[in-house]
């Protein structure tokens, strides 16, 4: 096991103080420093102050829960297509990893900001989404008019999420998956009951957010994302 700087600094206390006292010191240091180090290591600290989802190096990351992000980041999406209902930092993150990105954004102000940041390779679309019906109709219209077919990953992370579910089921490829962010409170077991998809829930903290949330991944049979050959990575191994 790697000996950290904190462990090395604590060693003299452990060697020379009575065990009950050294344990109190060790436990106090662990309780105090663990959340601080975690926040710095993940980028949660910077995300909180800058009010955007970034890692500790200021790189954009999806606004999913950290357990879900850690699950996704070590997988290979280089030959995969992605459809996003709701763009943002995730669009920038996916653009460096996936073969094709199609993003539908219903907020005009954020669409204009995002348009300045994304490359021309990303299909970024704005459409009015004042209410659920208009949101659904415009999403279907864009997908149909551009002759988009199936997508390997479909992300529901904005706008009227319930109305995007049936569209996502229509456009997800065989062996693909749907990522549903902030999935608590949307009655997913009921809404996906007849879909035949399996569901994995990733509970935990999100960048720059106090309260924990849930990001769910709904999987088709033999989904590429659960291939056992992908490496296991931890925050502790990151540079």
The CATH number covering residue 154 comes to 3.40.50.150
pTM attached to this predicted model: 0.87
Which pLDDT does position 59 carry in this prediction? 96
Which pLDDT does position 1 carry in this prediction? 41
pLDDT in tens, 68-113: 999 999 899 999 999 999 999 999 999 999 999 999 998 888 899 9
Token readout for 111 is: 């669409």
Give the three-class secondary structure for 116.
Answer: helix
Residue of higher predicted confidence among 3 and 140: 140
Which pLDDT does position 218 carry in this prediction? 96
Range of the domain at 13: 5-42
**Averaged over 174-180, what is the pLDDT?**
95
pLDDT in tens, 29-73: 778 888 898 999 999 999 999 999 999 999 999 999 999 999 999
Instruction: Let me know whether 72 and 141 are in one domain.
Output: yes
Position 5 confidence tier, pLDDT thresholds 50, 70, 90: low
Give the three-class secondary structure for 124.
Answer: strand
Residue 47 inside a domain? The answer is no
Residue 111 inside a domain? The answer is yes
Position 237 confidence tier, pLDDT thresholds 50, 70, 90: very low
Q: Is the pLDDT of residue 228 over 80?
A: no
Which pLDDT does position 19 carry in this prediction? 73
- Rounded CA separation 65/207 (Å): 7
Burial environment of residue 186 by CB neighbours within 10 A (0 to 12, 13 to 18, 19 or more): middle
Residue 225 inside a domain? The answer is yes
Mean pLDDT of the chain: 88
Q: How many domains does the chain have?
A: 2
Position 14 confidence tier, pLDDT thresholds 50, 70, 90: low
- Ranges of beta strands (E only) in the chain are 81-85, 100-105, 123-126, 151-156, 172-180, 198-204, 213-219
């Amino acid at each position: 096991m790697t000996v950290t700087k904190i462990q090395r600094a604590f060693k003299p206390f452990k060697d020379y103080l009575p065990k009950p006292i050294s344990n109190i010191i060790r436990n106090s240091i662990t309780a105090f420093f663990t959340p601080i180090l975690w926040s710095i290591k993940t980028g949660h600290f910077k995300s909180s102050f800058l009010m955007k989802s970034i890692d500790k190096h200021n790189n954009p990351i999806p606004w999913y829960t950290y357990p879900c992000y850690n699950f996704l980041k070590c997988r290979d999406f280089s030959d995969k297509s992605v459809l996003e209902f709701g763009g943002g930092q995730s669009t920038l993150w996916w653009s460096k990893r996936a073969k094709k990105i199609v993003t539908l954004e219903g907020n005009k102000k954020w669409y204009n900001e995002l348009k300045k940041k994304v490359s021309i390779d990303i299909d970024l679309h704005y459409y009015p989404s004042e209410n659920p019906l208009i949101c659904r109709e415009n999403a279907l219209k864009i997908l149909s008019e551009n002759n988009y077919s199936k997508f390997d990953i479909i992300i529901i992370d904005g706008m009227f999420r319930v109305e995007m579910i049936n569209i996502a089921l229509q456009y997800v490829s065989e062996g693909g998956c749907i990522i549903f962010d902030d999935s608590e409170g949307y009655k997913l077991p009921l809404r996906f009951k007849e879909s035949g998809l399996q569901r994995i829930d990733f509970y935990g903290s999100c960048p720059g957010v106090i309260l924990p949330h849930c990001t769910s991944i709904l999987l088709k049979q033999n989904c590429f994302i659960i291939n056992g050959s992908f490496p296991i990575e931890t925050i502790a191994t990151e540079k």
